[in-house]
Amino acid sequence: MKRLKPILAVLLSLVMIFGMTATAMAAEASNEELINAVQAQVEAKATVTFTNAAELARLVQVGYSYRQPNGPISITKGTLTTKSWLFTTKKDVYVVCLSGTDLAFNQSTGVWTDLLVGFEQNNCYIRNVRSAIQTAVPKGSNLVIAGHSLGGMVAQQAAADYTIKKNYNVLNTVTYGSPLISGLTREGTVRRLGDTRDIVPYLSVSTFLNVVWQAAGLNREDGGYNALQVVTAHTDSYQRAAVWGAYDVTGTKNGNAKLTLDFATTRFFRSPVVITY
């Protein structure tokens, strides 16, 4: 195990760095337009309804520093609607979105955080997420947490965090291109989505300690990328409704849940390396 840790650490670091760079510089134009449209809705303080996981992934992408300077954590008030054969259920929720690896100045989304989270260790990002939730969300509220890459790993840490579970109800966690983290202690329903060419969903210590859950717990779809496009699959696949449109906003395939979000309530939070309370 000790010999495998350095190898896993290098792989995780390289893919996360390249993933962040590709997100910022080499995304498909159509994806850029889709993400820009969601960012415009946020900036216009519009009220919108998301019906699938790809739409939620676009909101997560708005957290990257090349899109806006206010931090990788966003919290938005909304309503989660689900339907059964007989009933329609609506719940007030706060949607917490976490972007991934990002080499921004004094932001705890870099390589060191990748390694800490990959080995399920405490880190500044999860501490900042906890602080942001405590600041913006009333105690007892329902949470839906979503994250891409590193953000998806920290989203799982948040769903397993003692303080968050004690004070809030974590209903759903949706991750995009993220490996298994904190599998035994997470609250609520967790859905991990991973493109078949994306290798990042396998880059955590769980690959060696819990390989069955790491693989079996991943919902996979083929985005049409080839073997040389692993980075593109990691950065571009999840915003595409053609690939993930059959998954609802909770990450459930052929589900019917939808989120109505009031972007007038959206707040962004920074995640500094040095935390002051």
**Res 16: pLDDT:** 52
Report DSSP letters for 182-242, one per residue.
STTT--SEEEEEEETT--GGG-STHHHH-HHHHHHTEEEE--S--TT-HHHHHHHGGG-HH
Q: Read off the pTM.
A: 0.89
pLDDT tens-digit readout, 130-174: 999 999 999 999 999 999 999 999 999 999 999 999 999 999 999
pLDDT digits (tens, 9 = 90+) for 240-259: 999 999 999 999 999 999 99
Determine the pLDDT at residue 153.
97
What parts of the chain have a pLDDT lower than 70?
Answer: 1-29, 275-277
Pairing mode, strands 73-83 and 142-148:
unpaired
Per-residue pLDDT, 22: 43
Q: Nearest Cα to 102, choosing from 117, 115, 114, 90?
A: 114
Three-state secondary-structure class, residue 176: strand
| pLDDT score recorded for residue 275 | 56
